[in-house]
Structure 1
Amino acid sequence: MNIIPAIDIIDGQNVRLTQGDYGKKSAMARTPEEAVKFYSGFKQVSRIHIVDLMGALKQDATETTLVQKLKRETHLPIQIGGGLRSIDTIEHYDAIGIDHFILGTRAIMDMEWLRSAVEKFPDRIFVGIDARQNDIYVNGWTENSGITIDDYLEKIEDLALAGIIYTDIAKDGMGQGPNLENTGRINDLTHHTVIASGGIRNKEDLDALKAMGIHDAIVGKASHNDDFWRDIT
């Protein structure tokens, strides 16, 4: 199982939200810089997941300087999400050495733009599908897009994506385990690599995902707990 620890950033701080609620913000013990160095020491970590949370809310990247600094602190690939609404922003992240780009809101709502981005950066773009039940949410998880997971998957099946990041918003930050049923269902519906996200607590959750054919998992709150790493090493 490839573990992808998450660093969520607001105003330069390493934080976690509960169910994507900006009003339920918790500061993490490690700074973003400390977290990158810590995660880089584990062989199970395949890359690092960074989210510019205010960028997602404000619809424009706000942490590009910090992200560039974090890239210099690790030998691992970095995937960045939050506020990537233009080709210019993706090109800027590309220029500072970021490896993968996570497109959410605009990729959900503007299929022609997504196609143009994928043509320019084939196999480097992940689409973030953030959902409650089967409904995809956008703009920092604050609005229902009116598009279902099933309908959206049909639209992107022919694109040269790096993969799909599926997050069950209701599970995120709750420490109750991932949505195994829907993760497995999505994996069966697409040929794209599916990355599980939201609620992953421990090795048992990772083993359950692996048993259904999921080999990549983003671990958020649990990755800040030293006990999590002791259990998997």
Structure 2
Amino acid sequence: MKIFPAIDIKDKKCVRLVKGDFENKTEYEMSPVEQASKYKNYGFKNLHIVDLDGALNGETVNLNIIQNIVGKFNLKVEVGGGIRNLDSIQRYIDAGAEKTILGSAAIKDKNFLKEACEKFPNKIALGLDAKDGYLSVSGWTEKSNQLTLDYLKEVNDYGVSRLIYTDINRDGSKLSPNFDETAKVAEISNCPVIISGGVSSIDDIKKAKNLKNVEGIIVGKAIYDGDIKLEELVKEDA
């Protein structure tokens, strides 16, 4: 099970949102680079970074911070947030990101997802952010009319290398992930799935290990709030 500690960047700071609400956010003292350094020192190998500024305006706003993190710490970084064209994907790959996460742009335009997978094999992760079974887009400010499982069936053969499934109702809530929905997504998906949203304890990590076709889990707020100790968490990272 790969553990992905999360760094969400807004205004050059580490923040955590509750259920994707930009008005309901907590800012933390550590800079994104300092936080990445801490994860590296504890022995984590993977990192999940979201450029929240990018998610809002569709540009690679915090590219230099992400480039700095990848260059300094030699971590396997997956990065998302407002990646809406092939040039942005190229910039992140050039910066050393292992995977770039496509969300809104891929949901609104399946051809863009297909083209990205063909041009950047094994580099594209698909972020499916769902609320009550329907996909949300544009930094979670818009609910689409697409059912998660229906959309996944349509794009399943495009060559996505990783799928990140987030239940928005659980995100930042520390109420445990939506394991039932994740299991349904993982059962259909042609690529391995990462669980995101609501991780509250080491027990959640252990439960995730029992799910088929799930390769990892993202942990955010529970780390920042001290509910999960990094020395315990890193033991689950394999």
TM-score (norm 1): 0.95
Aligned-residue sequence identity (percent) comes to 36
Distance 2:231 2:97 in 1: 29
Task: Tell me the equivalent position of 1:84.
Answer: 83
8 Å contact 1:36–1:73 — kept in the other structure?
no
Structure 1's 87 and 11: CA in aligned 2 closer, same or farther, altered over 3 A?
same
Q: In the alignment, residue 56 of structure 2 is paired with which amino acid?
A: L
Distance 1:128 1:11 in 2: 22
Does 1:130 pair with 2:124? no
Q: Over the residues paired in the alignment, what is the CA RMSD in angstroms?
A: 1.4
Does 1:166 pair with 2:165? yes
8 Å contact 2:136–2:143 — kept in the other structure?
yes
Number of paired residues?
Answer: 232
Task: Tell me the equivalent position of 2:195.
Answer: 196
Alpha-carbon offset, residue 48 of structure 1: 0.6
Task: Tell me the equivalent position of 1:139.
Answer: 138
8 Å contact 1:130–1:169 — kept in the other structure?
yes
> Which shifted more, 161-170 or 219-228?
219-228
Distance 1:46 1:162 in 2: 18
In the alignment, structure 1 segments of 5+ residues that lack a partner are none
Does 1:22 pair with 2:19? no
In the alignment, structure 2 segments of 5+ residues that lack a partner are none
Does 1:231 pair with 2:232? yes
Matches within 5 A, 1:204-223: 204-213=203-212, 214-223=214-223
Q: In the alignment, residue 14 of structure 1 is paired with which amino acid?
A: C
Matches within 5 A, 1:5-154: 5-43=5-43, 45-154=44-153
Alpha-carbon offset, residue 223 of structure 1: 2.5
Distance 2:132 2:29 in 1: 32
Alpha-carbon offset, residue 215 of structure 1: 3.0
Alpha-carbon offset, residue 76 of structure 1: 1.2
